[in-house]
């Protein structure tokens, strides 16, 4: 039986109508496939890359650039939106400074420079800086893997990064269109929107002879946070770590990562649908339909807020995979109830290797004739041999004794009248 066949049995045998958990089932399948095993441990971590963008000096934002530094400080302290989400849901996080315009670093110091350059005047970064941003993203993923995390979510912080993301997306899209540029944090400021579109149009016209790939787009009109995200996503594919993207900016980073390294697509999960106009276009470049996105909440905050909420949904789904009743189990219980008029105890799934470790072979040698007699009794009770052994473990442990422990002194107990035939047959055995 192949891994995919086993995975289909695991998901399809959950006690529910087929596909009734919709996108949660789809994403659970993708996570198990990315891992390549049925890992019951779900250890997520949220990584935020922070950087400033030189294009703000061209007047494309309404806020002051210092907000990047201050907000990253709040993230580090746990008082931003995304870190509040992380804390209440027990999701660890880290802030990585890849280019905040400050003398001191915020969080993990990986500062490449104090922000990128103004791409209206010169390329946003050098080839060396681009490679350094890629390597920082890769390093943080490998550090997370070494620490035991098997799932990541990504966020970012940087005033002006909606403009850099729109510029990169327009550069790598099949047709360059300024409609991919949205308001960003300046909702309703139509004058500023038109200015941003002119800035992007003029810059892409100037750099058109030099942009031939997603890496070129990141270098000429991108940002350090975008490049680090792209590098991190490519590293996830190499490390077999599935991850959530957040909104528009991380979707653009994913589109770049997939163009540079197509296998990344198999490890990326969408979390929420940003209201930025370029979001759907970025998702389509990643091979993701907007109807494959589980959260539609009209969000556009960034930081990875939607990604962390996605982690909460996924954690709930994976818990259900391992703890939910099964269709086959319910069917057996129903058949037993129909035949005997009693409710069958829900069988406990016992890991075979753990069971083998508990049982001492020298003390459990059973004559084959006796075994056949036992199997006959089990069948009369409507149980398979495995279910009977599981039931034995359940009742022994419930009574406060470990299986095959030291013999206890016999105690006189008044005999109680049995409630049903099945209990009597079990005691007789």
Phi, psi (degrees; rounded to nearest 5) at 183? -70, -30
CA distance 408 to 271: 56
Q: Categorize the per-residue pLDDT at 406 as very low, low, confident or very high, splitting at 50, 70 and 90.
A: very low
CA distance 357 to 376: 27
Query: What token pair was written down for 363?
Result: 């003390």
Q: Categorize the per-residue pLDDT at 404 as very low, low, confident or very high, splitting at 50, 70 and 90.
A: very low
Give 212-270 pLDDT, tens digit per residue: 999 999 999 999 999 999 999 999 999 999 999 999 999 999 999 999 999 999 999 99
Look at 187 and 164; give whichever has higher pLDDT: 164
Taking residue 279's Cβ as centre, other Cβ atoms within 10 Å add up to 24
- pLDDT at residue 305 is higher than 50: yes
Burial 186-195 (b: 16+ CB within 10 A, else e): beeeeebbee
Catalytic-role residue among 25, 76, 303, 387? 303
In this prediction, residues 388-401 reach a mean pLDDT of: 60
Per mean pLDDT, which range of 97-111, 152-166, 323-337, 409-423 is the poorest?
A: 409-423
User: Which range is most confident: 146-160, 328-342, 389-403?
Assistant: 146-160
CA distance 8 to 390: 24
Interacting residues of 238 by C-beta distance below 8 A, sequence separation 6+:
138
Identify the CA nearest to 53 among candidates 128, 129, 113. Answer: 113
**CA Rg, the chain, in Å?**
29
Question: Would you give the distance in Å from CA 208 to the centre of its chain?
Answer: 36
CA distance 362 to 372: 20
CA distance 45 to 64: 30
The β-bridge partners of 272 are 295
The β-bridge partners of 268 are 243
Helix (H, G, I), strand (E, B) or coil at 262: helix
**Domains of the chain as residue ranges with CATH:** 3-322 (3.40.50.10210), 327-428 (no CATH)
Q: Categorize the per-residue pLDDT at 329 as very low, low, confident or very high, splitting at 50, 70 and 90.
A: confident
Taking residue 395's Cβ as centre, other Cβ atoms within 10 Å add up to 12
Helix (H, G, I), strand (E, B) or coil at 155: strand
pTM of the predicted protein model: 0.78
Q: Is 129 a catalytic residue?
A: no
In this prediction, residues 389-408 reach a mean pLDDT of: 54
Please state whether 115 falls in left (phi above 0), alpha (psi between -120 and 50) or beta. left
Give 283-302 pLDDT, tens digit per residue: 999 999 999 999 999 998 99
Look at 423 and 314; give whichever has higher pLDDT: 314
Q: H or E element: which one contains 327? A: helix 327-340
Give 2-34 pLDDT, tens digit per residue: 999 999 999 999 999 989 999 999 999 999 999
| The predicted structure's pLDDT at residue 424 | 45
Give 178-192 pLDDT, tens digit per residue: 456 655 554 555 577
In this prediction, residues 306-329 reach a mean pLDDT of: 94
Contact status, residue 252 vs residue 265, Cβ threshold 8 Å: no
| The predicted structure's pLDDT at residue 428 | 45
Above pLDDT 90, what percent of the chain? 66
């Amino acid at each position: 039986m192949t891994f995919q066949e086993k995975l289909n049995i695991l998901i399809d045998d959950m006690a529910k109508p087929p596909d009734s958990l919709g996108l949660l089932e789809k994403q659970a399948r993708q996570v198990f496939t990315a891992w390549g095993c049925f890992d019951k441990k779900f250890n997520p971590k949220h990584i935020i890359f922070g950087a400033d963008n030189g294009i703000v000096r061209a007047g494309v934002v309404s806020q002051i650039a210092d907000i990047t530094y201050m907000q990253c400080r709040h993230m580090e302290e746990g008082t931003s939106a995304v870190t509040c989400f992380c804390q209440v849901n027990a999701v660890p996080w880290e802030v990585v400074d890849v280019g905040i315009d400050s003398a001191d670093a915020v969080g993990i110091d990986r500062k490449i420079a104090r922000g990128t350059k103004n791409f209206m005047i010169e390329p946003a970064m050098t080839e060396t800086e681009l490679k350094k941003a890629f390597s920082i993203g890769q390093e943080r993923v490998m550090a997370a893997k070494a620490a035991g995390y098997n799932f990541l979510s990504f966020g970012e912080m940087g005033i002006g990064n909606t403009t850099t993301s729109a510029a990169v997306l327009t550069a790598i899209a099949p047709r360059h269109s300024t409609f991919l540029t949205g308001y960003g944090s300046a909702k309703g400021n139509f004058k500023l929107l038109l200015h941003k579109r002119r800035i992007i149009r003029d810059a892409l016209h100037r750099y058109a002879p030099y942009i031939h790939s997603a890496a070129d787009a990141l270098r000429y009109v991108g940002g350090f946070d975008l490049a680090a995200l792209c590098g991190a996503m490519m590293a996830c594919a190499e490390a077999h770590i599935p991850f959530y993207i957040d909104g528009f900016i991380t979707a653009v980073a994913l589109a770049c990562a997939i163009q540079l390294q197509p296998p990344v697509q198999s490890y990326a999960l969408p979390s929420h649908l940003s209201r930025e106009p370029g979001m759907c276009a970025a998702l389509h470049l990643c091979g993701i339909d907007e109807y494959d996105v589980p959260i539609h909440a009209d969000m556009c905050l960034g930081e990875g807020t939607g990604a962390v909420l996605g982690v909460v949904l996924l954690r709930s789904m994976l818990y259900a995979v391992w703890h939910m009743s099964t269709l086959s189990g319910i069917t057996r219980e129903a058949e037993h109830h129909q035949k005997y008029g009693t409710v069958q105890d829900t069988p406990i799934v016992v890991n075979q290797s753990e069971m083998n470790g508990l049982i001492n072979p020298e003390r459990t040698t059973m004559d084959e004739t006796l075994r056949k007699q036992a199997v006959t009794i089990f069948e009369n009770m409507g149980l398979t041999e495995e279910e009977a052994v599981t039931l034995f473990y359940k009742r022994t442990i419930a009574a406060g004794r470990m299986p095959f422990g030291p013999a206890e002194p016999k105690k006189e107990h008044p005999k109680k009248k049995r409630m049903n035939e099945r209990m009597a047959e079990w005691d007789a055995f």
